[in-house]
């Protein structure tokens, strides 16, 4: 058996469908280009029947990327498959990924169908998909909780009908490594035509075992793994791409597995996703978290100085983390800034570089030292991928222990300036009320967090918020050395997402 593992990235489909991770078409294109640079084999670009927005982004990505296979998801119905094919047909390497649930619990309560009916749907629609596209993947949803004999029958039948990839999802993250490996081994032993298809796995992380289960399956003979950047995905997410790839890379001595991923593109990919969605990974996240290569304890630091490998099993450089974190001062030029951004994984257009440079010089005037984290924050803040309906002009706040907090906000919309004031429980509340009065949009604030971007009293504060609006959740983030201003700008960035989605996506 080949030791090459196919990396199937579903950041733009399973990942993007999770609350808080929605992206616009342009953002998905930017992410897809980075995934191709990263070297994944397959990009699942979306679920074309789900919405016009999904359809357009799968189509745009399929038309643009030339190296990577582009997959589109479809249920086992002709309507879904036709829509997926319509979006995919101009891809150089298209794949239709069709799925239907096979566990009794899904059959009874969700589909209201018998096992025979589901088998027939699967076979008929795989055959139909194959008549349109050479590359067809089939997934029996909730495979882990499916009767194993029935699962073998379904898999054998869809391979006969033309599926060249059969994916075994642990859709609810229920399995444990030994059990999941045994399912893969049983399928390899019992399904007579299994050697005519690549066996794939797709593990959710509800019990924190997404990566462990995927690895166990690979060791049992699976040769495609479905995963996402930063492990994003439904509920607790999917198996994390960076963890799986770095396990194969770091423990090659034991596993002897290969994949096509350029490990130095991992960190830039993770940062880009954070930038596009406004969703940070936790500090201690393996591989890409802020603490992943930080050594705090004295004994550890001493060991590191004497010999790095005492406490470091892989280098930060191997995953693309730039070597130093201290960057530039107020005399640094545009060229140095551009070079640093490239090292951080941001290839800015001339226009974006000019915007970033202006923000950088303004910040360097306020702070002596500008760090990488400041530069990343500038990109996140200033170079929004979402067209801004309202832009921030100015803010005045009155607050104190014996004053009623009052905020006056000035916003711009096109050529018009709007101004209003409000009082509130605190300065942030007053500011948000004033913004609501101007824009007429009133979302529910469900999350507000503030943290210093770097060290020092002059550090910028980064505000991350979530607004709930008409059943959907929208992120906003912004940085400033003034935390009330950062709060106002974060609110505005979420609000601009709401307005953009309302007017262009839904």
Residues binding ligand KIV (CB under 6 A):
14, 99, 139, 141, 167, 169, 171, 202, 204
Residue 14 near Zn ion by CB under 5 A: yes
- The window from 12-20, 56-64, 212-220, 498-506 that contacts Zn ion (CB under 5 A) reads 12-20
The nearer residue to ligand KIV, 99 or 500, going by C-beta atoms, is: 99
Q: Which does 141 bind (CB under 5 to 8 A by kind): Zn ion, ligand KIV, none?
A: ligand KIV
The nearer residue to ligand KIV, 204 or 466, going by C-beta atoms, is: 204
The nearer residue to Zn ion, 168 or 435, going by C-beta atoms, is: 168
48: left (phi over 0), alpha (psi -120 to 50) or beta: alpha
The nearer residue to ligand KIV, 141 or 242, going by C-beta atoms, is: 141
Residue 372 near Zn ion by CB under 5 A: no
In sign, the C-alpha dihedral spanning 474, 446, 374, 479 is positive
> 17, 258 in Cβ contact below 8 A?
no
- Residue 226 CB, nearest distance to Zn ion (Å)? 8
Enter the tokens of residue 27: 């953002």
- The window from 13-21, 75-83, 143-151, 175-183 that contacts Zn ion (CB under 5 A) reads 13-21
The closest of 19, 9, 22 to 51, measured between CA atoms, is 22
- Residue 276 CB, nearest distance to ligand KIV (Å)? 21
- Residue 167 CB, nearest distance to Zn ion (Å)? 10
- The window from 9-17, 208-216, 259-267, 401-409 that contacts Zn ion (CB under 5 A) reads 9-17
Distance CA 449, CA 465 (A): 6
The nearer residue to ligand KIV, 79 or 192, going by C-beta atoms, is: 79
Residue 54 near Zn ion by CB under 5 A: no
Enter the tokens of residue 59: 């189509």
Long-range pairs, 496-501, Cβ under 8 A, ≥24: 496/384, 496/386, 496/387, 496/388, 496/389, 496/390, 497/386, 498/441, 498/443, 498/467, 498/469, 498/474, 499/389, 499/390, 499/439, 499/441, 500/24, 500/386, 500/387, 500/389, 501/22, 501/472, 501/474
> 440, 460 in Cβ contact below 8 A?
no
Q: How many CA atoms lie within 13 A of 13 on its CB side?
A: 25
- The window from 7-15, 55-63, 281-289, 384-392 that contacts Zn ion (CB under 5 A) reads 7-15
H-helix segments, 192-317: 210-219, 241-250, 252-255, 266-277, 298-306
Tell me the backbone φ, ψ of residue 448, rounded to 5 degrees: -145, 120
Q: Which does 80 bind (CB under 5 to 8 A by kind): Zn ion, ligand KIV, none?
A: none
- Residue 99 CB, nearest distance to ligand KIV (Å)? 4
- Residue 144 CB, nearest distance to ligand KIV (Å)? 10
Residue 265 near Zn ion by CB under 5 A: no
The nearer residue to ligand KIV, 24 or 167, going by C-beta atoms, is: 167
Site size for Zn ion (CB under 5 A) = 1
Distance CA 24, CA 500 (A): 9
- Residue 252 CB, nearest distance to ligand KIV (Å)? 28
> 411, 418 in Cβ contact below 8 A?
yes
- Residue 43 CB, nearest distance to Zn ion (Å)? 15
The nearer residue to Zn ion, 97 or 275, going by C-beta atoms, is: 97
Q: At what angle do helices 25-38 and 266-277 cross, to 10 degrees?
A: 170
- The window from 10-18, 67-75, 305-313, 396-404 that contacts Zn ion (CB under 5 A) reads 10-18
- Cβ neighbours for 214, distance < 8 A, ≥ 6 positions apart: 201, 203, 222, 225, 227, 239, 244
Residue 135 near Zn ion by CB under 5 A: no
Residue 381 near Zn ion by CB under 5 A: no
- Residue 446 CB, nearest distance to ligand KIV (Å)? 25
> 101, 172 in Cβ contact below 8 A?
no
Long-range pairs, 14-18, Cβ under 8 A, ≥24: 14/44, 14/202, 14/226, 14/228, 14/233, 14/234, 14/238, 15/228, 15/229, 15/232, 15/233, 15/237, 15/238, 16/46, 16/232, 17/47, 17/50, 17/233, 17/234, 18/232, 18/233, 18/234, 18/235, 18/237
The nearer residue to ligand KIV, 46 or 169, going by C-beta atoms, is: 169
- Residue 208 CB, nearest distance to Zn ion (Å)? 16
The nearer residue to Zn ion, 14 or 265, going by C-beta atoms, is: 14
The nearer residue to ligand KIV, 202 or 280, going by C-beta atoms, is: 202
The nearer residue to ligand KIV, 214 or 487, going by C-beta atoms, is: 214
Q: Which does 489 bind (CB under 5 to 8 A by kind): ligand KIV, Zn ion, none?
A: none
Q: Which does 139 bind (CB under 5 to 8 A by kind): Zn ion, ligand KIV, none?
A: ligand KIV
Q: Which does 99 bind (CB under 5 to 8 A by kind): Zn ion, ligand KIV, none?
A: ligand KIV
- Residue 14 CB, nearest distance to Zn ion (Å)? 4
Residues in touch with Zn ion (CB under 5 A): 14
């Amino acid at each position: 058996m080949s030791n090459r593992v196919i990396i199937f990235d579903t950041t733009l489909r399973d990942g993007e469908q999770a609350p808080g991770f929605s992206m616009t078409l342009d953002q998905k294109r930017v992410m897809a280009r980075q995934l191709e640079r990263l070297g994944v084999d397959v990009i699942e670009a979306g679920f074309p029947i789900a919405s016009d927005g999904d359809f357009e982004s799968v189509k745009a990505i399929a038309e643009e990327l030339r190296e990577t296979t582009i997959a589109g998801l479809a249920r086992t119905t002709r309507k879904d498959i036709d829509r997926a094919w319509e979006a995919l047909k101009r891809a150089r390497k298209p794949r239709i990924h069709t799925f239907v649930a096979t566990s009794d619990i899904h059959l009874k309560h969700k589909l209201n169908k018998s096992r025979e009916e589901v088998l027939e749907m699967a076979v008929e629609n795989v055959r139909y998909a194959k008549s349109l596209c050479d590359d067809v993947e089939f997934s029996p949803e909730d495979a882990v909780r499916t009767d194993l004999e029935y699962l073998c029958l379904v898999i054998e039948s869809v391979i006969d009908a033309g599926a060249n990839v059969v994916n075994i999802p642990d859709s609810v993250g229920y399995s444990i490594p030994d059990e999941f490996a045994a399912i893969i081994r049983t399928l390899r032993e019992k399904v007579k035509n299994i050697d005519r298809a690549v066996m794939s796995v797709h593990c959710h992380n509800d019990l924190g075992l997404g990566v462990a289960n995927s690895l166990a399956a690979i060791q049992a003979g699976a040769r495609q793994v479905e995963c996402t950047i930063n492990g994003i995905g439904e509920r607790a997410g999917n198996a994390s791409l960076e963890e799986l790839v770095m396990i194969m890379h770091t423990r090659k001595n034991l596993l002897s597995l290969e994949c096509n991923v350029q490990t130095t593109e991992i960190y830039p990919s993770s940062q880009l996703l954070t930038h596009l969605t406004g969703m940070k990974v936790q500090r201690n996240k393996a591989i890409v978290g802020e603490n992943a290569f930080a050594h705090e304890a004295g004994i550890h630091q001493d060991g590191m100085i004497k010999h790095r490998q005492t406490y470091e099993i892989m280098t930060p450089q191997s995953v693309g983390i730039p070597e130093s974190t201290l960057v530039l001062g107020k005399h640094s030029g545009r060229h140095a800034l551009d070079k640093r951004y490239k090292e951080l994984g941001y290839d800015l257009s001339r226009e974006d570089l000019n915007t970033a440079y202006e923000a950088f010089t303004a910040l360097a005037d306020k702070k002596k030292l500008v760090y990488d984290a400041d530069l990343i924050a500038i990109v996140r803040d200033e170079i929004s991928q979402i067209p801004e309906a309202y832009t921030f002009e100015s803010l005045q706040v009155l607050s104190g222990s014996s004053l009623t907090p009052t905020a006056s906000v000035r916003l711009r919309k096109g050529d018009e300036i709007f101004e209003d004031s409000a009082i509130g429980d605190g300065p942030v509340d007053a500011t948000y009320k004033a913004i609501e009065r101007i824009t007429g949009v009133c979302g529910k604030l469900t999350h507000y967090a503030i943290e210093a971007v770097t060290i020092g009293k002059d550090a910028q504060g980064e505000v991350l918020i979530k607004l709930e609006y008409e059943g959907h959740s929208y992120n906003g983030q912004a940085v400033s050395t003034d935390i009330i201003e950062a709060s106002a700008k974060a609110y505005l960035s979420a609000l601009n997402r709401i307005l953009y989605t309302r007017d262009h996506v839904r």
